[in-house]
Amino acid sequence: MDAPILAVDELCVAYGKVEALHHVSLTVRAGEIVTVIGPNGAGKTTLLSAIMGVLPRSSGSVAFLGVEQGDVEVERMVALGMTLVPEKRELFGDMSVEDNLLLGAFMRRRLGHRDEQQTMAEVFGIFPRLKERRGQRAGTLSGGERQMLAVGRALMAKPRLLMLDEPSLGLAPLIVREIFHVIGNLRKTGVAILLVEQNARAALRIADVGYVLETGEVAMSGSSEELEGNPRIVESYLGLGGKR
Amino acid sequence: MDIQIALLLAQDGIVNGAIYALLALALVLVFAVTRVIFIPQGEFLAFGALTLASFQAAKVPGTLWLLIGMGIAISIIELASSSRLRGGRRRLTFALGWNLAYPAVLAAIVLLAKPGDWPLVLQVVLALALVVPLGPMIYRLVYQPLASASVLVLLIVSVAVHLALVGLGLLFFGAEGSRTPAFSEASFSLGDVTITGQTLWVIGASLLLIVGLYLFFERSLWGKALRATAINRVGAQLMGISTTQAGKLCFLLAAAIGAMSGILVAPITTIYYDTGFLVGLKGFVAAIVGGMVSYPLAAAGAILVGLLESFSSFWASAFKEVIVFTLIIPVLLWRSMTTRHVEEEEE
């Protein structure tokens, strides 16, 4: 079997003396959608930030594309093909949709690739709404459109691993469904996806593998069918009428 | 006052205003991207002008020693830190090339090639080549290790850098002022008013620089990356835009703008080692008019400062600086009433 795209082993992260992640291990393979679910404050965002190199790690290792990444910088991870869509989107509000997308390809341009117009056409194919709004300032977009732009901007980097932090946050149910539909379809493009979500039902529906993170530790993991059938998961995260 | 004097004063005000506008744009740029209030901006004006004047006096400008010294300091830091970072070898070669080899080459040119006999254009190019790299070097030495410090700490550090540079300026160039020859001796008369060629040079070059900056920010990838960093630092970092590189680029632009404005005004005004501070402060007043974020408002503010200064020097010359700096009070009042307070994004 190929080396996994991402292998996190016994990762610990601390904020000062408070440890936010304890010995977390997880694996993402090519073409796979892996979701990390769990309650607020479980350390999901911390996990993504530590993988991306935004936060320093206290111990444990992260291997990306089969190579262990020691003391990393964010730019280096981006150059290697890792992209994070953060919880707050972090768009460039005063710039146009098109410029936001273009900057998504910043690292590819620096590495000498000149295919951003073609990639942009692909992103417009996935999110036709962005094409209509291409000249508009990102700050004037609706919540759903902003999320589309955040995902589209990340795709402009042509990542090997796309990490999404709470893409459903603050969005209307219909939009959530649309976004998750798109995420599910991205699998076909071959990108591996690590999806962090509080909306466990939507996340498990499109994911292959799920991890449950509780107070900084992996409490449970398995295929998404297993997790969906697990009575504890049903009770804590899916609520009544878990099967729909 | 008759119309002729008014026109003369206006011409003066616009010329000075153009220089303030350049400095104000540099201040806004540096602040927006790095949150540094760059007090030493004016020193680049003085260094640019005085370095050029040194060449013309067939002297070796002290800025050469500063460049060599900072290059050595940075090289030591890079050598010490390269063992800890991945991919350090290539980065190290690059850093040593810029910080040791480049100053060495310039030193060879300055000491051996006798730039005193060169034509003015080449002297200008050499002066820029000496002074402009000091910008990113100062960023690397002073501000990069403080990238996460608060605006106030960065401001205090800026004051320190300013004092250090003014001191070095006195050491390098002495206490007497210098003037350089005009770029062109031509002059035109418009009715009763004479317009010198240098006036047109200052205004034209300033406009050209402003248009160039506008195109850079609107069209080029790096320009957009700098704007993105100014708007959202976290978002820019996640795109792979390095905060450090953005910072160095900003300081490079700021130093270039500063040195060029110095070279532009040196034929009109006598420049002393400490002239930069006052000129920089007036640019700062203009930048405040733009709230440290708006480029067009800062440029308009600069013209206002220039006109205010020249007209008040006619009516109340003893108070001309007071009047200019007092402008800041109504501007701040107006801004605090019309704009909402933006919280600093830091946690």
The 10s digit of each residue's pLDDT in B198-213 is 888 899 999 999 999 9
Report yes or no: B137 and B70 within 8 Å, Cβ to Cβ: yes
pLDDT, position B295 = 85
Could A83 and B238 be called an inter-chain contact, meaning their C-beta atoms sit closer than 8 Å?
Answer: yes
Residue B187: its H or E element: strand B187-190
Q: Please indicate, yes or no, if residue B331 is contained in any of the structural domains.
A: yes
Residue B183 sits at the vertex; the CA angle it makes with B180 and B189, to the nearest 5 degrees, is 115
User: Binning pLDDT at 50, 70 and 90, where does residue B249 land?
Assistant: very high
Could A75 and B87 be called an inter-chain contact, meaning their C-beta atoms sit closer than 8 Å?
Answer: no
Q: Please indicate, yes or no, if residue B91 is contained in any of the structural domains.
A: no
Residue B300, amino acid:
A
Based on its alpha-carbon atoms, the radius of gyration of chain A, rounded to whole angstroms, reads 18
Residue B58 sits at the vertex; the CA angle it makes with B55 and B62, to the nearest 5 degrees, is 60
Asked if residue B191 has pLDDT above 80, the reply is no
pTM of the predicted model, to two decimals? Answer: 0.89
Could B237 and A75 be called an inter-chain contact, meaning their C-beta atoms sit closer than 8 Å?
Answer: yes
Report yes or no: B202 and B302 within 8 Å, Cβ to Cβ: no
Half-sphere exposure of B223 (CA within 13 A, CB side): 9
Give strand pairing partners of A222. Answer: A210
Chain A hits for B239, CB-CB cut-off 8 Å, are 78, 103-104, 106-107, 153, 157
How many folded domains does chain B comprise? 1
**Other Cβ atoms within 10 Å of A86 Cβ, number:** 21
Report yes or no: A170 and A162 within 8 Å, Cβ to Cβ: no
Minimum Cα–Cα distance from B230: chain A residue: A92
DSSP B140: I
Q: Residue-wise over A37-68: b if at least 16 C-beta within 10 A, else e?
A: bbeeebbbbbbbbbbbbbbebeebebbbbeee
Q: Residue-wise over B239-250: b if at least 16 C-beta within 10 A, else e?
A: bbbbbebbbbbb
pLDDT, position B224 = 96
User: Of B238, B245, B248, B295, which to mutate for an interface test with A (greatest number of A Cβ within 10 Å)?
Assistant: B238
Q: Please indicate, yes or no, if residue B79 is contained in any of the structural domains.
A: no
Name the residue with tokens 């801004």.
B335
Q: What is the CATH number of the domain that holds B30?
A: 1.10.3470
In angstroms, the CA B123 to CA A27 distance is: 61
Could A102 and B224 be called an inter-chain contact, meaning their C-beta atoms sit closer than 8 Å?
Answer: yes
Contact A235/B at CB under 8 A:
no
Name the residue with tokens 């980097």.
A157
Chain A hits for B232, CB-CB cut-off 8 Å, are 90-93
Asked if residue A126 has pLDDT above 90, the reply is yes
pLDDT digits (tens, 9 = 90+) for A41-71: 899 999 999 999 988 888 999 999 988 888 7
Residues 120-139 of A with CB under 8 A from B: none
pLDDT digits (tens, 9 = 90+) for A148-184: 999 999 999 999 999 999 999 889 999 999 999 999 9
pLDDT, position B313 = 86
pLDDT digits (tens, 9 = 90+) for A193-238: 999 998 898 999 999 999 999 999 999 999 999 998 888 888 888 7
Q: Please indicate, yes or no, if residue B109 is contained in any of the structural domains.
A: no
Q: Please indicate, yes or no, if residue B184 is contained in any of the structural domains.
A: yes
Q: Please indicate, yes or no, if residue B101 is contained in any of the structural domains.
A: no
Look up residue B197 and give its two tokens.
């060629």
Asked if residue B347 has pLDDT above 60, the reply is no
Report yes or no: A22 and A64 within 8 Å, Cβ to Cβ: no
- Work out the mean pLDDT of chain B and round it to a whole number: 89
Asked if residue B214 has pLDDT above 80, the reply is yes
Could A103 and B228 be called an inter-chain contact, meaning their C-beta atoms sit closer than 8 Å?
Answer: yes
Residue B339: its H or E element: none
Residue A164, amino acid:
L
Size of the A and B interface in Cβ pairs below 8 Å: 72
**Residue closest to A49 by CA, chosen among A32, A27, A72:** A72
- Give me the domain span that covers residue B276: 3-58+114-338
Residue A89 sits at the vertex; the CA angle it makes with A223 and A74, to the nearest 5 degrees, is 80
Is the pLDDT higher at A3 or at B105?
Answer: B105
Q: Please indicate, yes or no, if residue B276 is contained in any of the structural domains.
A: yes
Q: Please indicate, yes or no, if residue B125 is contained in any of the structural domains.
A: yes
Asked if residue A80 has pLDDT above 90, the reply is yes
